[in-house]
Amino acid sequence: MKKTADNPLPGDLRLDMYRSAVKAMREGQYSVDFPVGNLDETGQLGVELQGLADHLEWQFAPARKLQEISDTVSGGLTLDDVLDRVFDSFQTIIPYNRIGCALLTEDGRSLRASWARADFEELRLVTGFTASMANSSLNQIIATGQPRILNDLEDHLARHPGSHSTQLMVSEGIRSSLTCPLVSKGKPVGFLFFSSTERFTYQGIHQGVYLRIASQLSSLIEKGRLYQELVELNARLLATQAELQELATRDALTGIYNRRGILERLSAAFARARREGGQLALILVDVDHFKKINDCFGHSTGDAVLKEIANRLGSHLRQYNHLGRLGGEEFLIVMGDVECTQGTCIAERLRKEIGALPVEHDGRSIAVTISAGVVQAADCTSIKSGEALVAIADDAMYEAKRLGRNRVSCRVLGCEPD
């Protein structure tokens, strides 16, 4: 705290305090106090030193704040992160109620609002707003490299009524703006807009502050933009990869899991059952006399039958059960743990649903039935693999066919069926 003549300090004590403050300034700490005391020679020295400290603090504060942001950007901040940090830390350097950032397209013909934040709620000029750079007054800012001050936006709008962006800004309550060019490696990349709800907020001093940090800030914003594009591109690639993975596990005809997909679900369910001591049940379904359907009515009708059976099976299963086409006219259902002991009952219900109505195709009604083999395992620890369970279900299914088809046969491993 500074001392005045009403509260004097001895000269020697002031000199000791001055030396400590000057040492702090040499280390880059400019926000220091030089107690004046009496306005003798020592006090006058304190006044001059305080003026120097205040000037250096004003001079280097923007660069220091920018360095703080730069240190974190190297860790991989997106454009939104960089600009959020600017908004949170630049208030003491350049006044504003709102900051917006707009970036030029690659060909420089259009400008797109990429980020905006304000200390009020209703933003109308938001991300995605696009304007042509043809005949735009912003071109003059790029040409000169100088920030532009508009201290009465209502008057500017009256003189340029066709400026949609100005209309939106005025409707938000903005009355003055400082438009700053962003130039990275000699190439214009966009603009940073500092805006205030008060008229006549910006002066030449604010232009000077921005120009001192323009190069570094432009570089940070450009790096943030590129990093954000990489993040978004990576997200799109991951989404595309997931879609391709999903397509690779789907049967093209029926839309349900194909052999690879259903066996992957079986493998995961089997591993979980072994790990957690849970139960597992499978239903293997085969369409009765499917070859005769193909021979009598053609393969297009056979395909229609398979699609309809897949639809009926899927519509009568719970979401946590998995249905796949194992191959040809065979379907495999992997049951959830909670329904393990209900496998035979569920298979019977499905058999009845399939046989209840004929399949309609090309004006024909085709009666269809299924045979099903069920395996219910209360303990999977002694079973080698999920495929071993499929083999057991397959044996049960062939038993159902030998017994006359259109029926269900079950194998129970370590538990009793309901």
Q: Is the pLDDT of residue 416 over 50?
A: no
Res 11: pLDDT:
62
pLDDT, tens digit, 9 for 90 and up, residues 162-202: 999 999 999 999 999 999 999 988 899 999 999 999 999 99
How far is the C-alpha of 207 from the C-alpha of 332, rounded, in Å?
71
Convert the pLDDT of each residue in 340-364 to its tens digit.
678 899 999 999 999 999 999 988 9
pLDDT at 4 exceeding the cut of 50: no
Tell me the backbone φ, ψ of residue 34, rounded to 5 degrees: -115, 100
Of residues 20 and 302, more confidently modeled: 302
Q: What is the pLDDT of residues 57-87, one digit of tens each?
A: 766 766 666 666 656 545 557 889 889 988 9
DSSP letters spanning 75-123: TT--HHHHHHHHHHH-TTTS--SEEEEEEE-TTSSEEEEEEEEESSS--
Q: Distance between CA 26 and CA 132 in Å, rounded?
A: 49
Cα angle, residue 119 at apex, residues 61 and 226 outer, rounded to 5°: 65
Distance separating alpha carbons of residues 332 and 357, to the nearest angstrom: 21
What pLDDT shows up at residue 6?
Answer: 46
| Residue 52: pLDDT over 90 | no
Please give the pLDDT value at position 342: 85
Positive/negative CA dihedral, 357, 374, 346, 313: negative
Give the range among 203-207, 319-323, 333-337 with minimum mean pLDDT: 333-337
| Rounded mean pLDDT, 381-390 | 88
Q: According to the model, what pLDDT value does residue 3 have?
A: 44
Helix or strand or coil: residue 372? strand
Q: Are 347 and 374 in contact (CB under 8 A)?
A: yes
Residue 333, H or E segment = strand 330-335
Rounded to an integer, the average pLDDT of 271-298 is: 91
pLDDT at 337: 67
